[in-house]
Chains A and B, each alone.
Chain A
Amino acid sequence: MTDVLAYRADDGNTHANSLSPAYGSTVRRSPSQPLVAIPHTLTEVTGPSSQVLRASLDDLTKIGTGEALGERIIVTGRVLDEDGRPVPNSVVEVWQANAAGRYIHERDQHPAPLDPNFRGEGRVVTDADGRYRFLTIKPGAYPWKNHHNAWRPAHIHFSLFGPAFATRLVTQMYFPGDPLIAIDPIACAVPAAARDRMVSRFDLDVTEPEFALGYVFDIVLRGRNATPMEDKHDH
């Protein structure tokens, strides 16, 4: 008996359509054929352990000889599954633009200054309660060439593994009250009801006096079916 406990199917109201023409790059880069649904096997319910992670890096503000420029912020939260169970020991990787809206990347041509003391990458493993925490600076908004006068809302990229190949998630965290979110084709490709799940919330308890504002961003990965999936293909 090798049936496995599958992860729950997508509810159809969470993720963007891969083809979302307002985000121009999707047009030539999204499959035109329907995805082929497959049952979860050992391949899908296993995945890389946190041992593949490189050394932890949770303070993005002190990689150079001086401190990073910009508004210091704490970003923290829990990684949970859809049933509210914490996801411990999960790799969380982040990367972001600097306070001026510039990435340390050769293809970023935005004429905003680089900060020699800010590289904008971090990675940690969630603790037993699924919690993670980074100290960073608030990223700036930046222009992109998707359409005339296009600006990305300030965001931090997140990459999570969770317990299995099936739970892998790459997403972006936005900031509350940002007027650019509502006109951003990448954020707005997500169904409206799920969009707010990508927006962090300001939290005074996380905020440290005389030091840094605090934002909370909880991330919810796919939950698991309660019983082994019926093998609907085996007949």
Chain B
Amino acid sequence: MTIKYGATPSQTVGPFFHYALPYANGETLADAQTQGTRIEITGRVLDADGEPVPDAMIEIWQANHAGRYAHAEDSRSEFALDPHFTGFGRTATDATGTFRFTTVRPGRVPGPGNSLQAPHIAIGLFGRGLLNRLVTRLYFADAAENADDPILALVPERRRSTLLAQRLPGEAATYRLDLRLGGNDETVFFAL
């Protein structure tokens, strides 16, 4: 197949995106009417020295509680759409490199072949010094479904823990996942 046009190269988002890209409530995907189990996702973005990255932007994309994406190509009408859930969030890290989202725990979605994926949230990471978007996923450390997830299976076993958000003690369901750009326990990033 002949490709007619060369793709436009990626460039860094730079340090000055804050007034243009993050928007009010971009970190809040779920409101009082959203169906499903409400969760908080938090963590820090750290560089190869373990120093916080205070100028990163994080986007997440996920299915709703029933495992349905709010997108035309997910036509599985047996799983209901939720009018109160788009599945997309965007926020910037603060001075300590911390980010936080309020969302719902996603349902399972199909994987290659006849497989089912474990509940997961796709993550896109941007920042000064990141010439390309870095893509990873958040899985839930307490999900038994991880054992047969077809994407986790492609990750070397010793590195899988970098994708597993740990539930923090307390009443609210808060999950923590740090994103490490290098160093020990460097996060697994994906080539899509």
Q: Do A and B come from one complex?
A: yes
Flag if A198 contacts B9 (CB, 8 Å): yes
Flag if A157 contacts B13 (CB, 8 Å): yes
Flag if B133 contacts A31 (CB, 8 Å): no
List residues of A whose CB falls within 8 A of some B CB.
Answer: 2-4, 7-8, 10-11, 14-18, 20, 23-33, 35-49, 51-52, 54, 80-84, 93-95, 97, 103-105, 107-108, 119-121, 157, 159, 164-166, 168-172, 186-187, 189-191, 193-195, 197-198, 219-223, 226, 231, 233-234
Flag if B155 contacts A36 (CB, 8 Å): yes
How many angstroms between the C-alpha atoms of A55 and B127 in the bound complex?
A: 25
Flag if B132 contacts A28 (CB, 8 Å): no
| Contact pattern, B 67-108, Cβ under 8 Å of A = 1, otherwise 0 | 001110110000000000011100000000000000000000
How many angstroms between the C-alpha atoms of A15 and B78 in the bound complex?
A: 40
Q: Which residues of A contact B113 (CB under 8 A)?
A: 2-3, 231, 234
| B150 contacts partner chain A, Cβ-Cβ < 8 Å | yes
A234 to chain B minimum Cβ distance, whole angstroms, is 5
Q: Which residues of B contact A223 (CB under 8 A)?
A: 3, 7
Q: Which residues of A contact B189 (CB under 8 A)?
A: 31, 33, 35-36
Flag if A198 contacts B11 (CB, 8 Å): yes
- Grouping DSSP codes into helix (H, G, I), strand (E, B) and loop, the B interface class, with mixed when no group exceeds half, is loop
Q: Which residues of B contact A234 (CB under 8 A)?
A: 112-113, 115
List residues of B whose CB falls within 8 A of some A CB.
Answer: 1, 3-21, 23, 47-49, 51, 53, 55, 59, 61, 63, 69-71, 73-74, 86-88, 109-115, 117, 120, 122, 124, 126-134, 137, 150-151, 153-155, 159, 181-182, 186-192
Q: Which residues of B contact A84 (CB under 8 A)?
A: 4-5
Flag if A197 contacts B71 (CB, 8 Å): no
The answer to whether A35 and B190 touch (CB under 8 A), given A43-B120, A104-B19, is yes
Flag if A52 contacts B4 (CB, 8 Å): no
Flag if A47 contacts B21 (CB, 8 Å): no
Flag if B10 contacts A7 (CB, 8 Å): no
Q: Which residues of B contact A46 (CB under 8 A)?
A: 61, 69-71, 73-74
